[in-house]
């Protein structure tokens, strides 16, 4: 696989921080440089949450146990059923993310993400959504993934799918290893809209000519920040908003209304880290012993 470029971190006047990374597949100059498309990942581009499948891949490599995964799945089910994303919930998610990345080397995470994408994520890419992204590329426009998952995982997925790059949660790196601190906040909710606005300013994009795709009402700030919003496999709240605003709706789920695989939500991308942290620590102690 072509290697991804360095993560770029930007902070706006209000102190909001975003990170993005282009893949080596990105053209030096796009034929339509002022337009782009932004795709949410979890349940929009992929069935389920990328960070969950990453954890599943870690479990298959004995980094975590099946009980860790079961505990995570239950936490996520409860999280979704309650449908609450108060500040306290996001605080827990951020703390979990901090514990997850501490001590890991960036190149190790990227290598694992490449392997796990091929094994577990690739079969779960929605072909219809991928085709929508390809249409933008064929029109000479850039296509970015926007996810609460770590930006390193996002850019691996983008490269595998032939997309321009990814916007994601940024973890602090010193000497090639994660410190356990985040640069800014989780890439969730309003943070996605802020990050896209920052990227547009840097890349010279006209947001009125851009499109955004998501499955969740949590991404309404992102969808409302561009000229064309598309609801993909929408949850009930987003479907109502799409009908109210006259947005296009695409649903690639088959049969009865799909139950989202493994129940992780985009907002809970940090919480998966908390579920696997104990397993990671245990595995390292075993290796050190």
pLDDT, tens digit (0-9, with 9 covering 90-100), for 99-151: 556 788 889 888 999 999 999 999 999 999 999 999 999 999 999 999 988 88
pLDDT of residue 248: 97
The pLDDT of residue 104 is 81
Catalytic hit among 24, 32, 42, 235: 42
- CA 7 to chain CA centroid, Å, is 15
Cα 226 to Cα 35, 185, 251, 256, distances in angstroms: 10, 22, 20, 31
Are 155 and 106 spatial neighbours (Cβ–Cβ below 8 Å)? no
Which residue out of 24, 32, 40, 206 is catalytically annotated? 40
- Higher pLDDT: 72 or 160? It is 160
Establish how many alpha carbons lie within 13 A of residue 64's alpha carbon, considering only the half-sphere containing its beta carbon: 25
pLDDT over threshold 50, residue 254: yes
Cα–chain center distance at 220: 16
Whether 42 is a known active-site residue: answer yes
pLDDT of 227 higher than 90:
yes
Alpha-carbon distance of 195 to 184, in angstroms, equals 11
Q: DSSP assignment of 193-230, as one string?
A: HHHHHHHHHHHT--GGG-EEEES-GGGHHHHHTSSEEE
More confident: 218 or 62: 218
d(CA 47, CA 260): 7
- 231 has a pLDDT exceeding 70: yes
- pTM (whole model) above 0.85: no
258 pLDDT higher than 70: no
Work out the pLDDT band at 54, boundaries 50, 70, 90: confident
CA 169: distance to chain centroid? 8
Query: pLDDT class for 285, splitting at 50, 70, 90?
Result: very low
d(CA 289, CA 286): 5
Q: What is the pLDDT of residues 60-101, one digit of tens each?
A: 888 766 676 666 566 555 544 443 444 445 555 555 555 556
Q: Across the chain, how many H-helices and E-strands are there?
A: 10, 9
Is 235 a residue of the active site? no
Rounded-to-integer distance, Cα 287 and Cα 282, Å: 9
Residue of 78 and 48 predicted with greater confidence = 48
Judge whether residue 244 has pLDDT over 90.
Answer: yes
Measured from the Cβ of residue 224, the count of other Cβ atoms closer than 10 Å reads: 13
């Amino acid at each position: 696989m072509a290697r991804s470029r360095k993560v770029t971190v930007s902070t706006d006047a209000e102190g909001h921080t975003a990170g993005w990374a282009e893949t080596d597949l990105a053209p030096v100059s796009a034929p339509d440089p002022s337009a782009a498309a932004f795709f949410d990942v979890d349940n929009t581009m992929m069935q389920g949450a990328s960070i969950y499948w990453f954890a599943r891949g870690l479990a298959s490599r004995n980094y975590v146990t099946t009980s860790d995964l079961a505990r995570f799945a239950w936490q996520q089910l409860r999280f979704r059923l309650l449908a609450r994303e108060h500040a306290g919930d996001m605080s827990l998610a951020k703390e979990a993310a901090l514990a997850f990345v501490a001590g890991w080397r960036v190149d190790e995470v990227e290598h694992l993400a490449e392997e796990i994408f091929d094994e577990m994520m690739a079969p779960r890419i929605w072909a219809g959504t991928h085709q929508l992204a390809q249409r933008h590329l064929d029109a000479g426009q850039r296509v970015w993934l926007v996810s609460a998952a770590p930006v390193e995982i996002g850019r691996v997925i983008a490269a595998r799918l032939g997309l321009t790059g990814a916007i994601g949660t940024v973890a602090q790196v010193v000497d090639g290893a994660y410190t356990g601190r985040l640069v800014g906040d989780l890439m969730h909710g309003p943070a996605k809209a802020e990050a896209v606005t920052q990227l547009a300013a840097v890349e010279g994009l006209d947001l009125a000519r851009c499109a955004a795709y998501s499955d969740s009402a949590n991404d309404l700030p992102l969808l409302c920040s561009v000229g064309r919003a598309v609801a993909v496999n929408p949850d009930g709240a987003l479907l109502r908003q799409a009908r109210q605003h006259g947005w296009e709706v695409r649903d690639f789920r088959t049969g009865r209304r799909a139950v989202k695989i493994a129940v992780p939500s985009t907002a809970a991308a940090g919480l998966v880290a908390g579920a696997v942290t104990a397993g990671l620590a245990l595995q390292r102690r075993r290796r050190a012993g």
